[in-house]
Amino acid sequence: MKRIIKYLSVLFLVVLFFSCSKKLNITKTQNDKVKTELESVLLSTNKGEFYTLPTSFKKTVNFKTEYNVDNDFSTDDSEKLQKAIDKLSDAGGGKIVIPEGNYSFNEVSLKKDVHIEIDKDAVLRPFAALGKKALLMFSFTSTNKNVPLRNTGIYCTNGKFTVDLNYVRPLGRGFRFCIFKNADGFLVSDVSILDNHTQFSAFVFNGETINNRAYGPKNGVLKNANTTNSDYGYGLIQMQLGKNIFYSNISGIGGATLRLEPHNKNLRTLDAVNVIDNIVARNVRCTEGNAAIMLSPHFMANGIVDLRDITSVRCGAAVRIEGGFISKDEKAYGITSIGSFDSRSIIRDVKVTYAETGAQVKPKHYRYLPCNLKGLTTKNVLSEFLHGDSFEGPSIAGVIYTSKYSIDFNESHVTKFEGPNNGLQKVVRAVVKCN
């Protein structure tokens, strides 16, 4: 009897492969109205709800010719680019054109009304300054709570420019391509990041601490971006704070493509402005990685997310919907409520292709594998980081759903592609016990 009770308890904490439907506690009429209102607002991405790139600029500057850039990776171009940004912003704004060639940047700060247009044949590398273990290329923020950074962007109009990190990891350094904090109105698009299992996600949405409050970014667009060879624990995007942000055509080989996870220790003691809310994502893809989408609210009460057109090919999962939790340290700060996402949040159109190998998986998920697949994980760790106990193995599930909060999603929105791992075609996944 005890074994039966124990098994039923485990089954209750089920992982939903493609998820069981979790419905809102409102009537069908109310539910339809909420969905209609939500979709009509969040899908109106061309009406100014997010950000619109200017169609003309007061002044245009050619960075290579006007600042005597030598296109040698060994030269630090950061000071020259910062000077160009500052001068253009002080003159009322404009556009800096970075033509084809090689460039090295580190810790460049965007300024108001300045946009950077980068040619598709330009290659950017982080400049490895001595003593800098964590490298950052571009920062979008303001230290003035009343005047956030406004109207900025980095983009390409003739293809995708490249960020090359193949020389970062041997130095034992982490890297962030862009960090967004106290910014209002921005665009980053058309970039391909050649990762090398570096620490940290390429794009980080966080908060600027000003007078005991954390001010996050708002009203932004990130589109047509991809990363390759990412670490399991990181990937293309990690979002800790941010409101009214639109993601489109984003993909990653390795890691988690879009990670909505407010894991910011400062939020234990600070009020947050712009928690994760009103987030829209379209066409999110993961290949041979952790997951395309990951929701992990920790101790933060987040708002609405609308995530659709999600594709997973040989990944641990297409979508991971993790439960909130409170650590011992957070309890010591008096935090008592676990995190969540708003119940009106939507996940739609998930497509999954399975494999018996190639996915990035962690031992904590092995318990959900069918018995015939448990021995297919490799023994060699994929990462050298302290947290990096990830391995190559089979797909775990289409959707891993372990949260206690409810969002609007069910298995009818999943397209299942047959693969060698046919044992994962079931809807309900519980802990699997093998003899």
Give me the mean pLDDT over the 59-87 stretch: 97
Structural domains present in the chain? 2-42+201-429 (2.160.20.10)
The three-state secondary structure class of 301 is strand
Give me the mean pLDDT over the 425-430 stretch: 39
Q: What is the mean pLDDT of the chain?
A: 83
pLDDT of amino acid 16:
38
Closest CA to 108 of 119, 94, 124: 124
Condensed to tens digits (0 to 9), the pLDDT of residues 110-133 reads 999 999 999 999 999 999 766 677
Backbone angles phi, psi at 191, to 5 degrees: -140, 140
pLDDT grade for 47, boundaries at 50, 70 and 90 = very low
Condensed to tens digits (0 to 9), the pLDDT of residues 174-229 reads 899 999 999 999 999 999 999 988 889 999 999 999 998 889 999 999 999 999 99
User: Between residues 377 and 108, which one has the greater pLDDT?
Assistant: 108
The share of the chain scoring above pLDDT 90, in percent, equals 56
Give me the mean pLDDT over the 76-80 stretch: 97
Per DSSP, what are the bridge partners of residue 138? Answer: 108, 178
Condensed to tens digits (0 to 9), the pLDDT of residues 4-19 reads 444 333 333 333 333 3
β-strands 15-16, 428-429: how paired?
Answer: antiparallel
pLDDT of amino acid 17:
37
Q: Which of 218-222, 256-260, 265-269 has the lowest mean pLDDT?
A: 265-269
Q: Which tokens sit at 388?
A: 């990096």
- The answer to whether residue 435 scores a pLDDT higher than 60 is no
| Integer angstrom CA distances of residue 234 from 14, 176, 237, 388, 430 | 25, 11, 8, 10, 26
**Reported pTM:** 0.87
Condensed to tens digits (0 to 9), the pLDDT of residues 343-361 reads 999 999 999 998 888 999 9
Condensed to tens digits (0 to 9), the pLDDT of residues 289-341 reads 999 999 999 888 899 999 999 999 999 999 999 888 877 777 777 777 888 99
Give me the mean pLDDT over the 377-394 stretch: 76
pLDDT grade for 1, boundaries at 50, 70 and 90 = very low
pLDDT of amino acid 145:
92
Number of H helices, E strands in the chain: 5, 30
Report the residue count for the chain. Answer: 435
